[in-house]
Amino acid sequence: MNSKFQIQNLNFYFNSEKVLKEINLEIPANKILGIIGPSGSGKTTFLRSLNRMNDFEITSRIEGKILLDGKDIYNSDFDVVALRKKVGMVFAMPVALPMSIYENVVYGPKLDGINDKNKLSELVEKSLSAAYLWDEVKDRLKTSGMRLSGGQQQRLCLARVLAMEPDVILLDEPCSGLDPISTAKIEDALAQLKKEYTIILVTNNTKQAARVADNTAFFLMGEMIEVGVTKQIFTSPQKSETNDYITGRFG
């Protein structure tokens, strides 16, 4: 098995509160890892530690190691900007930057110094198509991204990440505010994308994990209770907490 991320003895604190406890996890490449668990279980914090978005929380502190392709991303000489280009993120709230659809998609590539018009247009079409949005917006790329519906904006966010051509895509409850049709489109896109990318999907919707994830991890109160092949987690979980959660006894 080819590991993209290796998480070793990860502890995470906000002030003195321990929000992640002794997490050990290998995340295989070109697979979708679903992370489920009730709110407040540390799923989002865990996800945000993978591209160091927690760095902005002044009071946060981390222990342990997170290796990306064998390199510790919290090592002082690791380039954070390069990390975020390699590990893209789609947030729970769809946020189109207040600029055109086109400019939203090329935001990352332009930062990278790509200015060739043809190359950018190509990237825009490729990324929007992969996010299942191209047909809906191809005639109005110059209009503001903020005019799109929530579901469209979230696919725009996905396209924006894809345009950076990352290795890994982190998704933090990307469908929490979306209607079933938009959700289905995003799930279809993810199923296609895993051929090229490693995908980590945090979701409050256990059914979504069951539908799209290859592997599923269950988080509870900052601990990773169990991880395994999705089918096994949902049909014969090893731990009683997992069973209680997926059968809807709490959460």
Partner 1 sequence: MRIHPRYIQRGAVAILGSATLLTILILIFIIFFVLEKGLPVISLHFLTDNPEDMGKAGGIFPTLIGTILLPLLALIIASPLGIFTSVYLSEFTKENNVTKIIRFGTDCLAGIPSIIFGLFGYIFFVVTLGFGWSILSGGLTLAVMVLPTIIRTSEEAIRAVPKSYREVSFSLGASRWQTVKKVILPNALPGIVTGVMLSIGRSIGETAAVIFTAGSSLRIPTSVFDSTRTMAVHFYILAREGISAENAYGTAATLIIAVLLVNLSAYWLMNRFIAKRN
The residues binding partner 1 (CB under 8 A) are 51, 53, 56, 58, 81-82, 84-85, 88-89, 91, 93, 95, 97-99, 107-108, 111-112, 144, 146, 157, 160-161, 164
Count of all residues that appear for the chain in the document = 251
Report, in Å, the least distance between residue 206 CB and partner 1. Answer: 26
The first and second tokens of residue 220, run together, are: 């509870």
Choose between 110 and 119: whose C-beta lies nearer to partner 1: 110
Choose between 73 and 157: whose C-beta lies nearer to partner 1: 157
Choose between 13 and 91: whose C-beta lies nearer to partner 1: 91
Report, in Å, the least distance between residue 63 CB and partner 1. Answer: 21
| Distance (Å, whole) CA 58 – CA 82 | 21
Report, in Å, the least distance between residue 84 CB and partner 1. Answer: 5
**CA 124 to chain centroid:** 20
The first and second tokens of residue 146, run together, are: 């903020």
H-run or E-run covering 116: none
Choose between 161 and 212: whose C-beta lies nearer to partner 1: 161
Choose between 156 and 209: whose C-beta lies nearer to partner 1: 156
| Distance (Å, whole) CA 42 – CA 25 | 14
Choose between 25 and 161: whose C-beta lies nearer to partner 1: 161
Report, in Å, the least distance between residue 195 CB and partner 1. Answer: 23
Please check whether residue 237 is in contact with residue 220, taking contact to mean a CB–CB distance below 8 angstroms: no
Report, in Å, the least distance between residue 81 CB and partner 1. Answer: 5
Give the pairing type, strands 215-220 and 60-68: unpaired
Report, in Å, the least distance between residue 4 CB and partner 1. Answer: 18
DSSP 89: E
The first and second tokens of residue 182, run together, are: 């938009």
Please check whether residue 6 is in contact with residue 26, taking contact to mean a CB–CB distance below 8 angstroms: yes
The first and second tokens of residue 130, run together, are: 């992969």
